């Protein structure tokens, strides 16, 4: 089963295989992950069958995506993993009326909804580079990712 998303012109394909419920946190179990991020001729990045996420990390990400959706996160959260291929930034709902950067907020737009940023960190010749791609996921995209991870974990 594969997670597929068109994130405003960036086609994402993400698949997790070999998930097993975490039993011993001192001995992480790794999943095989494959992913691709493609957009026109400017982006064609893929990873095939790589152990980039531990089962425990998938559970942690799922738990925090659910908390984000339920309004249980009280502040923004950055999630980094043992392998540095991905990171996530979870952004909580914000009342823009309390943000001094805004001089005017149109009626009905006072609250900024949740979002998440999926950061893909690039490798070159076996070494992690300083380059990354940051993809913005709105509420519906976060729900889709949460649902995919839930199917993997359940």
Nearest-angstrom CA–CA distance, 84 and 91: 20
Instruction: Report the pLDDT value the prediction gives residue 26, as an integer from 0 to 100.
Output: 76
Per-residue pLDDT tens for 44-70? Answer: 999 999 999 999 999 999 999 999 999
Looking at the whole model, is its pTM more than 0.85? yes
Q: Domains along the chain?
A: 3-153 (3.30.2450)
Average pLDDT for the chain: 94
- H or E element, residue 5: strand 3-7
Q: What long-range pairs does 19-27 form, CB within 8 A, spacing at least 24?
A: 19/55, 19/58, 19/152, 19/153, 20/55, 21/55, 21/153, 22/55, 22/56, 22/59, 25/56
Q: Is the pLDDT confidence value at 107 over 80?
A: yes
Q: Is the pLDDT of residue 25 over 80?
A: no
Digit-coded pLDDT (tens) for 68-98? 999 999 999 999 999 999 999 999 999 999 9
Q: Among 93, 116, 91, 95, which residue's Cα sits nearest to residue 12?
A: 116
Q: Work out the percent of the chain whose per-residue pLDDT is above 90.
A: 90
CB 88 within 8 A of CB 57: no
């Amino acid at each position: 089963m594969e997670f597929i998303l068109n994130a405003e012109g960036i086609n994402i394909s993400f698949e997790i295989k070999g998930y097993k419920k975490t039993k011993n946190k001192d001995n992480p179990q790794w999943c095989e992950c494959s992913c691709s991020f493609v957009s026109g001729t400017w982006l064609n990045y893929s990873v095939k069958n790589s152990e980039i996420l531990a089962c425990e990390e998938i559970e942690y990400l799922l738990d925090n995506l659910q908390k984000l959706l339920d309004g249980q996160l009280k502040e923004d959260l950055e999630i980094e993993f043992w392998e540095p291929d991905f990171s996530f930034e979870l952004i909580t709902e914000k009342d823009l009326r309390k943000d001094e950067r805004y001089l005017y907020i149109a009626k009905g737009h006072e609250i900024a909804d949740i979002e998440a940023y999926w950061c893909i960190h690039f490798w070159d010749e076996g070494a992690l580079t300083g380059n990354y791609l940051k993809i913005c996921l709105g509420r519906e995209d976060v729900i889709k990712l949460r649902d995919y991870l839930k199917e993997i974990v359940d």
